[in-house]
Structure 1
């Protein structure tokens, strides 16, 4: 609790802190986590921007080399995201390095989360979930998981009733979620992945890495994804404004936990 999530969304998030599906959830997610963002010293001009700045780190006497391990993982995982973004760009008839331009992934908002799900058993009929149904906010999410099942996806999020299926963990592989920002950018050509986590009585760990473009990047429907039959579906929006709005919708008030 000494490293409780701050206003820049760094540090520890307690169980029930997030409410991802307020329509169907009775209470918040049955998971706890730890946010790690882009590390910048306080005297860096960009450190004042939302989602940039110094991280909250456990004391090195308690967890030696943990910070170095996390920073190395973030750096190497970002290269995987960039390579994946090249394939997406080519699929959208763009230059392969479209998403790597300075105003996009040249200076991204990249957020690593370490998640721990307890041994609760979810009950969808009672609104109890490890993580409620949602799609990720950003461009791409790179997800590493342990060997415990729990992740479900809904391939057609507009279907009623929705059909859910498990994504079984594959050793040594990442799950790649497409985010809402990519759906906006591609004018619906790519759909963001609706997913949730159900607890099955076993502890579970996962590491999602959420990657978005720079703060000032304006996300608008790409010309290559527009036609008379498919006009723009989404208005332009600045990345920072979009992300802040989504965070406000999903996090409980921190004062609840400060009182304890």
Structure 2
């Protein structure tokens, strides 16, 4: 394991929006990661989601494969995801299950795969309640503070069509946690950055998450990020880095095996698929011109999923 990293702790319940946004700005400049506390999502709800997640992953493989990923949603078995940095040709040692909102146009375009009610009677209800609670209580408020941190209007991301409470996706993750018998480092998730705007991660407290604050430096220095009960670990994604012209960097991270099974739940607050991400005026100048061309979110995700997911069909 690496050295321990002390991340900033942001209190989402603080009534001082401007001072909170300044703390978020500094956290995004220094780390690209921070803890979010007093966020309003009940701890028992977070624990319930982790418990139902364990029930799903404990099903026999053939029952899970009935819900296999079609496009971007559904079940992904071990080694389905592989990043350029993957230590082995097999891919990452993790299982995943991804779902999103069933409502509106996006729910029709990208249908969810759900376990049978007779197998997991409380599963869908638990997951849909968690999705709605996180987006209603945390997603909009946090993006508003990020906008203020960038000297923008609080509702900027809504105005440009980025924030759509039906565009987020939730990914349940299980890492078997086995250690390599040869003594080599084993990754449940190899080094990568997230694709979207912001990620909210809840964990079961098992160690393994590491960040590399300078992804361009060699050799890479990895630092451990501990889980704090009842908090979210928040990190900036690649599209936010593009929006901010590299001011807020999407920090590289990974999950290493520590000899113990690990569960986590990631909520990816992604922009609407039709949103065009282009450099913010407040983040470029004559001496700092835009580094990234404009890109439609749908096209960007399609390209990234095609590169990393063996089962991705490209249909969505």
TM-score of the two chains, using structure 1 as the length reference = 0.89
**2:279 corresponds to which residue?**
221
Tell me: CA distance 1:123–1:219, structure 2 relative to 1, closer, same or farther (3 Å).
Answer: farther
Q: Is the 8 Å Cα contact of residues 192 and 253 (structure 2) preserved in structure 1?
A: yes
Deviation by residue 1:22-41 (Cα, 9 ceiling, x = unmatched): 4644321100011112214x
1:16 equivalent in alignment to 2:79: yes
Deviation of 1:77 (Å): 1.2
Gaps of 5+ in 1: 256-260
Question: How far off is 1:108 after superposition?
Answer: 4.8
Structure-1 residue corresponding to 2:127? 70
Q: 1:47 to 1:102 in 2, by over 3 A?
A: farther
Residue 182 of structure 1 is matched in structure 2 by 240
Structure with greater contact order relative to length (CA < 8 Å, sep ≥ 6): 2
| Correspondence for 1:230 among 279, 285, 288 | 288
Q: CA RMSD in A?
A: 2.1
Quote the Cα distance in structure 1 between the aligned partners of 2:164 and 2:311.
33
* Aligned positions, number: 248
Question: Is 1:249 matched up with 2:313?
Answer: no
Q: Which runs of 5+ in 2 are unaligned?
A: 1-64
**Equivalent of residue 152 in structure 1, options 210, 213, 216:** 210
**Runs of 4+ deviating beyond 6 Å:** none
TM-score (norm 2): 0.74
Match of 1:37 among 59, 81, 100: 100
Q: CA separation of 1:37/1:123 partners in 2, compared to 1, >3 Å: closer, same or farther? A: farther
Q: Quick one: structure 1 residues 128 and 26, their matched pair in 2 at CA, closer, same or farther if it must change by over 3 Å?
A: farther
- For 2:31, the equivalent position in structure 1 comes to none
> Does residue 198 in structure 1 map to residue 256 in structure 2?
yes
Aligned to 1:57: 114
Q: Determine whether 1:207 maps to 2:265.
A: yes
Measure the CA separation in 2 of the matches of 1:134 and 1:217. 23
**Which of 177, 190, 197 is the matching residue for 1:119?**
177
Structure with a larger share of its residues in helix: 2
Q: What is the CA-CA distance between 1:81 and the residue it aligns to?
A: 2.0
